[in-house]
Amino acid sequence: MLQIDSRYIEKALSANALEELYPLLQNAVELEHSTIPPYLTAMFSLNPGTNPVQRQVIHSIVIEEMLHMTIAANILNALGGHPVISHADFVPEYPGPLPMGIGNGLIVGLEKYSTDVVKNVFMEIEEPENPLVFKSVSLAALPTYSTIGQFYQAIQRKIDELAPDELPGDKSKQVTSSFFPADELFPIYTKQHAIDAINIIIEQGEGTSTSPLDQEDELAHYYRFEELYKGKRLVKDDTAPNGYSFSGPAIPFSPEGVFPLFPNTKINMLPVGSEEWKRMTEFNTSYYSLLSGLHTTFNGQPGMLDNTVGVMYDLKLTAQKLCATPFPSKPGYTIGPSFEFIVPAGS
């Protein structure tokens, strides 16, 4: 089960002032972002026109990670802090651990889509505190671990304890978007807003403790990935112990519809100055542009969010072209997007 370094939870629980929560919320923004490159890499590796369910599931989860990142940044702003996004420390080194010691050594890389990656990485990242086991034989006693959910709960509890009803942050810095429902992404002006918003993050990621569904009646991330892993839809099943079972329609998967990305491609693996190297540079330039645009968005110019949506498309198109490009001198492989923090020449 996915663990978080319990020091972070202790830090949250021992906070005596809102300021002490700033670095933790910054960590939260970083954590939410850190899952996006691995998910996107897997999604971009799916050949256009193939494996539509896999694409749709990952896409829906990425969108929610973006929502969570936005919520965490909004809370940080609401408490009076300043999200830092366009900075080298913001981007993890892949393969490597996620922020805050998540997963007790879980190494997350940038790899092509496979059921192994879904099971061993994605489900690990999203694993709830007490995963509901559907039609599973073993229900051994589950030890208590510190999870991402618990981390957010600790922050939630401290905000409840320390914050005034009306939060001190500059209200004009709150970011909302027509791309998210107003009951999921709303401005955080009050303590209650912050508490409600954290519940959205926890439930979308983990479900509730009694159901795989979140408050919007959507499957939590963990169970959506589990569907892909099992190749079956999770559906209501009154005969099953938890009321659900993987007895829904099959989710077909064709492994040949996946580009053979070289795992954890880095730009320095490509011949300097080659067309492939330049396209990777273009990709990392878009990535930098995106982080920079988000930084501006979350530091006083919320209207910039729309512009970053356009950059996301630039990034996506370049990434998908990379995934279809043969890897120079690595026969049988294509190039994965490297998501490296490289400040564009002279920028």
Binding site for other proteins (CB under 8 A): 48-49, 178-179, 271, 273-275, 277-278, 281-282, 285-286, 288-290, 292-297, 304, 306-311, 313-314, 316-317, 320-321, 343-347
Distance in Å, CB of 298 to other proteins, minimum: 11
In this structure, what DSSP letter does residue 246 have?
S
CB nearer to other proteins: give 202 or 291. 291
Q: Are 307 and 293 in contact (CB under 8 A)?
A: yes
Distance in Å, CB of 256 to other proteins, minimum: 18
Single-letter amino acid, residue 216: E
Is 342 buried (19+), middle (13-18) or exposed (0-12) by CB count in 10 A? middle
179 is written with which tokens? 């791309």
CB nearer to other proteins: give 59 or 236. 59
Angle subtended at Cα 64 by Cα 168 and Cα 309, rounded to the nearest 5 degrees = 85
CB nearer to other proteins: give 273 or 332. 273
Distance in Å, CB of 86 to other proteins, minimum: 8
Alpha helices by DSSP H, listed for the chain, are: 6-13, 22-34, 36-44, 52-78, 115-117, 123-126, 148-162, 191-206, 221-230, 275-297, 305-323
Distance in Å, CB of 156 to other proteins, minimum: 30
For the chain, the distance separating the N- and C-terminal CA atoms, rounded to the nearest angstrom, is 42
The reply to whether omega before 263 is within 30° of 0 (cis) is no
Q: Which phi and psi (to 5°) does residue 226 adopt? A: -65, -35
164 is written with which tokens? 């005034």
Distance in Å, CB of 62 to other proteins, minimum: 14
Distance in Å, CB of 337 to other proteins, minimum: 13
Taking residue 329's Cβ as centre, other Cβ atoms within 10 Å add up to 9
**Strand residue runs (E) in 182-274:** 235-236, 244-245
CB nearer to other proteins: give 55 or 221. 55
CB nearer to other proteins: give 237 or 314. 314
CB nearer to other proteins: give 28 or 319. 319
Distance in Å, CB of 271 to other proteins, minimum: 8
CB nearer to other proteins: give 2 or 280. 280
